[in-house]
Amino acid sequence: MKITVMTTDEQFITLDVDPDETVENVKALLEVETSISLQQQQLLFNGKEMRNSERLSSLQVRDGDMVMMASVAASNDLRLNPDGSAVNPRAFQQQIRRDSQLMAQLLQNDPALSQAVVGDNLDDLQNILRERHQQRLELRRKQEEEIALMYADPFDVESQKKIEAAIRQKGIDENWEAALEYNPEAFARVVMLYVDMEVNGVPLKAFVDSGAQSTIISKSCAERCGLLRLLDQRYKGVAVGVGQSEIIGRIHVAPIKIGHSFYPCSFTVLDAPNMEFLFGLDMLRKHQCIIDLKENVLRVGGGEASVPFLQEKDIPSHVRDEERLSKQASLLGQGPSSGTSGAQGKTPGTNTSGTSSSDPTQGADFEAKVQKLVELGFDRNSVIQALKLFNGNEDQAAGFLFG
């Protein structure tokens, strides 16, 4: 007699078998046809599993009937450990990727988990699965507490406090559920803004941060770009913010290429091995840059040049740690993305107590210096204070304002 077997990938295989054939022998024939080992096969007839020792006739399998074949490995791939992590994370990931409907649901309801499934880091996937397991346990615990409160003594003070806390938490949970439904992007990881640039002819992935006051380049990156020969060590100091990093000097001007256009740029040089190049607010303002998130591009010179922000896959792993870069940026900057109150760097050996017969902090020359620094984008009062601090020295005042 002939039977038809439908495999897991919806292929149909016709087998010519004897009615008294054992299920195990049928699986052996299917192993030849499908390359799925006998141990990994699970045959179902009328919704019931067919055991290896049973015969087709005893299972009422007749000529022309259809048998379903499932892969035991496929079901095992989705098994989870007691802590919620996957027994086989790679197979678990591949199994979910193949289910387009499940992936669409994940993208809508749990963007963080969908990103972990699509990504290449299995540790991230395992960590998120553990987090979801803990969330389920916590939800179950809260439900049990709510049931217990329903039967609590309404005149007991402690019970009333627990009921009040439960009502407050319920409002928080409803707000969280509404955010998941209407604003799921808020729970996904935000990729920071990077663009392709060339510094002195050397291509770099530049981290664009409008919250960092100054444009920063690391010592190793400056050396690779051939700029250390221009390092002005008079601007040495220590940047203090989240931790501390040494300012080894300043490069006053060097060419950068954005798109097809060249622009002059100034850099503060840090001895910071974890950060290469950060395009800060000073140069963003000087070159009239526009961070266009609708078109996902950085426009320079009021729009004369534009470069697209890089996708996550295009950002090298050694510069992908945005949190570390933000902390490094906060050493010299202020603002929402820095996460700190700013930093202070001083040029050692500056004499601020000296006097002279002609006061350098007054007169037409002083006002000209003020106007020149104000044109760079600094507040007038800050410029005046900096010039007075450095006894009218324009270069040192500029370095102080940038650093």
Which residues form the catalytic set? 209
Q: What is the CA radius of gyration of the chain?
A: 33
Helix axes 380-389, 394-402, angle to 10 degrees: 120
Amino acid at 127: N
What's the DSSP call for residue 90? H
Which CA distances in Å does 207 have to 192, 211, 276, 306, 311?
Answer: 8, 11, 9, 15, 13
What span, in angstroms and rounded, lies between the C-alpha atoms of 240 and 331? 6
The two tokens of residue 210 are 């409008």
Residue 91's SS3 state is helix
Q: Helix, strand, coil: what percent of the chain each, to 5?
A: 40, 25, 35
- For the stretch 376-379, contacts whose Cβ atoms lie closer than 8 Å and that sit 24 or more positions apart, written own/partner, are 376/282, 376/286, 376/401, 377/282, 377/285, 377/286
Per DSSP, the residues of 117-133 read HHSS-HHHHHHHHHHHH
Amino acid at 376: L
CB contact at 8 A, 70 and 59 = no
Residue 387's SS3 state is helix
